[in-house]
Amino acid sequence: MQLYFSPLACSMATRISLYEAEAQARYVEVDPDTKHLPNGDDYRAISPLGLVPALQLDDGSVLTESAAILQYVADRFPGAGLVPTSPLERTRLQQWLSFIGTELHKALFVPLLGDKTPPGAREYALEKGGSKLALLDTHLADRQFLLGRFSVADAYLFTVLTWSMATPVDLKQYPALSAYQVRLRGRPSIARALAEESLLYAQAQARRRKSA
Ligand SMILES: N[C@@H](CCC(=O)N[C@@H](CS)C(=O)NCC(=O)O)C(=O)O
């Protein structure tokens, strides 16, 4: 299988999950501005919206949407225990994946990170986002992970939280969430993904500066 990703984007959650599962996979970088692949092909021929992640399976079929891809990876490698087995806990996992994808990724971080965000939208997102971060902080006050053990939802939450450093979101206001971030950073799959993607991000930025 082949993961289409951009460095430090939400696709990093799938990379972390693939590392957790010790899965064999290829990683293909997508330029988020041009939508080009390293071989010059247009990524939109693979995934029409040009968004990462996309996971191409060995039969050529393509999966999109983080919540779906993450669960596919977890189901494909059940030995890694990346999703709960009971129906109720599996639904809780989906609850968290939806929460992270909608309330945090799209509603909070996209307006804060966007360079074309309309005036006032950043402040609105930041104000609305406070209660979402506070909810997570309360939930994590007496837990190591979102569920009883590490799951693909933690891979996604960790990825989204890394974006806070480029925004006015101050995680220090949320001690349990901050501690969670620090704790997860020490996990081998996460440390490896973060180091690799930080380097690729810096290289992509240098290429962008050179061509500007
Ligand atoms: N709903 C999609 C959203 C994916 C998404 O927004 N990806 C971002 C990176 S985190 C992207 O590719 N942005 C490039 C763009 O907006 O052109 C998912 O959950 O996978």
- Tell me the percentage of the chain whose pLDDT exceeds 70: 100
65 lines ligand 1 (CB under 6 A): yes
List all residues 6 or more positions away from 16 whose beta carbon is below 8 Å from its beta carbon. Answer: 155, 158, 159, 189, 190, 193
User: How many Å lie between the centroid of ligand 1 and the Cα of residue 142?
Assistant: 31
What is the number of the ligand 1 atom nearest to the C-alpha of 64? 20
CA-nearest residue for atom 9, ligand 1, is 9
pLDDT at 163: 98
Looking at residues 95-104, what average pLDDT do you find? 98
Contacts 24+ apart (CB under 8 A), 141-145: 141/176, 144/180, 144/183
54 lines ligand 1 (CB under 6 A): no
Looking at residues 47-68, what average pLDDT do you find? 98
54 in Cβ contact with 61 (< 8 Å):
no
When the pLDDT of each residue in the chain is averaged and rounded to a whole number, the result is: 97
Angle between helices 66-76 and 87-98 (to 10 degrees): 150
Torsion angle of C-alpha atoms 197, 38, 18, 49, degrees rounded to 10: 100
User: How many Å lie between the centroid of ligand 1 and the Cα of residue 68?
Assistant: 13
Looking at residues 88-108, what average pLDDT do you find? 98
What is the number of the ligand 1 atom nearest to the C-alpha of 69? 20
Looking at residues 34-55, what average pLDDT do you find? 98
pLDDT for 29-38, tens place per residue?
999 999 999 9
CA-nearest residue for atom 11, ligand 1, is 51
pLDDT for 77 beyond 90: yes
User: How many Å lie between the centroid of ligand 1 and the Cα of residue 154?
Assistant: 18
pLDDT for 140 beyond 90: yes
Query: Which of the four pLDDT bands, split at 50, 70 and 90, describes residue 161?
Result: very high
204 in Cβ contact with 7 (< 8 Å):
yes
66 lines ligand 1 (CB under 6 A): yes
Omega prior to 53 cis, within 30 of 0: yes
Residue 52 CA to residue 32 CA, distance in Å, equals: 8
pLDDT for 76 beyond 90: yes
- The torsion angles phi and psi of 26, rounded to 5 degrees, stand at -105, 150
30 lines ligand 1 (CB under 6 A): no
pLDDT for 212 beyond 90: no
Label each residue of 1-58 as H, E or C. Answer: CEEEECCCCCCHHHHHHHHHCCCCCEEEECCCCCCECCCCCEHHHCCCCCCCCEEECC
52 lines ligand 1 (CB under 6 A): yes
Query: Which of the four pLDDT bands, split at 50, 70 and 90, describes residue 104?
Result: very high
Mutate to test the pocket of ligand 1, among 30, 33, 46, 51 (most ligand atoms within 8 A of CB): 51
Looking at residues 105-118, what average pLDDT do you find? 96
pLDDT at 90: 98
